Structure 1
Amino acid sequence: MITARLILLLGIVGVTSANEVGLGGKVLVFPYETDFSFVALIPQKEMDLRAFTLCMRVATELEGERQIILFAYRTPDYDELNVWREKDGRIAFYLSGDGAFFHLPPITTFRTSLCLTWESRTGLAAFWVDGRRSTYQVYKPGHTIRPKGTILLGQDPDKHLGDLEAVQSFVGEVTDLNMWDYVLPRSQIQALHYEHKITKGNIFDWATIEYQLNGNVMVVDDD
């Protein structure tokens, strides 16, 4: 169900579409940078998380010293879970404060299978690129991601209900975004990379995901 917060955000940016369900076999295309194009995602369960696995396939031709937002989840006062390509090319994620930064193979015009895992109990965090795990970092043990926020692809809301910036927007393609409220084992992350069937995401399942398109975002067949 769309929350009142999401309805207000959609109204502020000025362009909305009907609620849609399911992106199996589809790709989201963000053709050029804007301060108004995004996709709002509606989770299947509250984002009250002490662990997660977030996976997607992503491609971009953006180069140079430019931030690119890959995933944004914000509650009224905090960026609860943001994933970025930083200006220096590192991939980072932020849980309500300073981030954890990883030197990974670059995201390019050729699609990259990217997963992120984190658990509160130990603080262990890692990225997975095309089925290969980075080194672990210990990041925010004991932390909890708070619920009742807004989840966007394509833009970073600097406030809960707006302040979108074209120079941080995503340009490129996203597909196969799935999320679980626990850390997937290596075998399942690698199986996902090779497009084998695994347990469906219990927060986001690309085949049944609920979303809204806003601005100039295209849904195309995954040829």
Structure 2
Amino acid sequence: MLYLVCAFGYNIRGFVYLQLCAAKMRLSFILFIITISAGFDGTLAIRSLVFPSETSTSYVEMIPQKPLSLKAFTLCMRVATELSGRREIILFAYRTQDVDELNVWRELDGRLSFYLSGGGVFFQVTDLGPLQTHLCFTWDSSSGATALFVNGRKSLTKIYRQGHTIRTGGRVLLGQDPDNYLGSFDAKQSFVGEIADVNLWDYVLSDTAVQDMMTAKMTGGNVLDWETVEFKPNGAVVEINVNL
């Protein structure tokens, strides 16, 4: 609309009027960019969970958008902890009545691992620490192909649990490792630190999509979406908002 008025003014009144219109257009454009930037900044704020101390009572249950009947997955999260090298740490737990269907760990020796109803798969990578680390674990039942991304960098591929299916009917917990359906927690395995941006997909993301997830250019998972998932907190867990 502004451009049409300026063009009409130029035909009637000449070059001076055109300069004034151009100045108005530049000002309008600057105000538009400022408005968009302010709105965009708000979209980069995400919630984050702080587990301040070692306990056997503090955890957050996440309610999935769909049942966890999985023949493949990508699980991503942002983690920071000062428990480096001191003990094992549970990072994610999904348990049914009978078994740990999907548990993710930082092992005592610093390796990262996950377990699907039995023995685990292990990755020798840089240990977690107080600086935030972005992690993504991928697994495909059809081939058994399994990998870990640390801050967007992909590990070697390992073959693990080919033909396996993760079953429905369990609960997803952050902060504790349940030794039964929802209980028998061990404080010496609890998570202490900050965790955020936990997303789960029922397929393997491409390498590029993992990079986009790390830089907050991609929306959340179709099984667990951190921005919309329902939380059920218990104990001394503090929810804060952080800017990415």
- Supply the AA of the counterpart residue of 1:134: S
Map Cα deviations across residues 157-210 of structure 1 (whole Å, 9 max, x no partner). Answer: 0111311010000000011111100000001001111221x2431111111011
SS in 1 for 2:163: coil
What is the correspondence of 1:111-130 to structure 2 with a 5 Å cutoff?
111-130=132-151
One-letter amino acid of the structure 2 residue matched with residue 119 of structure 1: D
State the SS of the aligned residue for 1:26.
Answer: strand
Decide whether the 8 Å contact of 1:155 with 1:169 is kept in 2.
Answer: yes
The partner residue of 1:141 within 162, 173, 176 is: 162
- Larger CA Rg, structure 1 vs 2: 2
Question: Is 2:90 the counterpart of 1:69?
Answer: yes
2:232 corresponds to which residue? 212
In the TM superposition, what is the alpha-carbon distance from 1:64 to its structure 2 partner? 2.6
Match of 1:81 in 2: 102
C-alpha distance in 2 between matches for 1:193 and 1:58: 12
Q: Conserved in 2, the CA contact under 8 Å of 1:73 and 1:80? A: yes
Q: What does residue 13 of structure 1 align with?
A: none
Matches of 2:219 and 2:208, distance apart in 1: 12
| Pairs within 5 Å for 1:156-175 | 156-175=177-196
Cα deviation, residue 65, structure 1: 3.7
The answer on whether the counterparts of 2:200 and 2:223 sit within 8 Å (CA) in structure 1 is yes
Aligned residues: CA RMSD? 1.0
**Where in structure 1 do 4 or more consecutive aligned residues deviate above 3 Å?**
none
Deviations for 1:31-52, whole angstroms, at most 9, x for unmatched residues? 0010000000110000000000
Distance in 2 between residues matched to 1:117 and 1:91, nearest whole Å: 13
Conserved? CA contact 1:81–1:94, under 8 Å: yes
SS in 1 for 2:239: strand
Deviation at 1:104, TM superposition (A): 1.1
**CA deviation map 1:54-96 (0-9, x unaligned):** 0000000012340100000001111000000011110110000
TM-score, normalised on structure 2? 0.80
SS at match of 1:55: strand
SS in 2 for 1:191: helix
- Higher helix fraction (1 or 2): 2
CA distance in 2, matches of 1:220, 1:58: 14
For the residues of structure 1 that align with 2:171 and 2:115, how far apart are their CA atoms?
15
Q: Which runs of 5+ in 1 are unaligned?
A: 1-23
- Aligned with 1:103 (options 102, 108, 124): 124
Per-residue CA distance 1:6-50 (angstroms, 9 max, x = gap): xxxxxxxxxxxxxxxxxx611100000100000001100000000
User: Structure 2 unaligned runs (5+)?
Assistant: 1-44
Is the CA contact 1:51–1:120 (under 8 Å) kept in the aligned structure 2? yes
Deviation, structure 1 residue 105: 1.3
State the TM-score, normalized to the length of structure 1.
0.87
Supply the distance in 2 between the matched residues of 1:135 and 1:64 (Cα, whole angstroms).
23
- Selected match of 1:35 from 24, 40, 56: 56
Instruction: Give 1:101 shift.
Output: 0.7
- The one-letter amino acid paired with 2:215 is Y
Question: Does structure 2 conserve the Cα–Cα contact (< 8 Å) formed by 1:65 and 1:89?
Answer: no
User: Distance in 1 between the 2:68 and 2:92 partners?
Assistant: 14
Q: Would you say the 8 A contact 1:57–1:114 is kept in 2?
A: yes
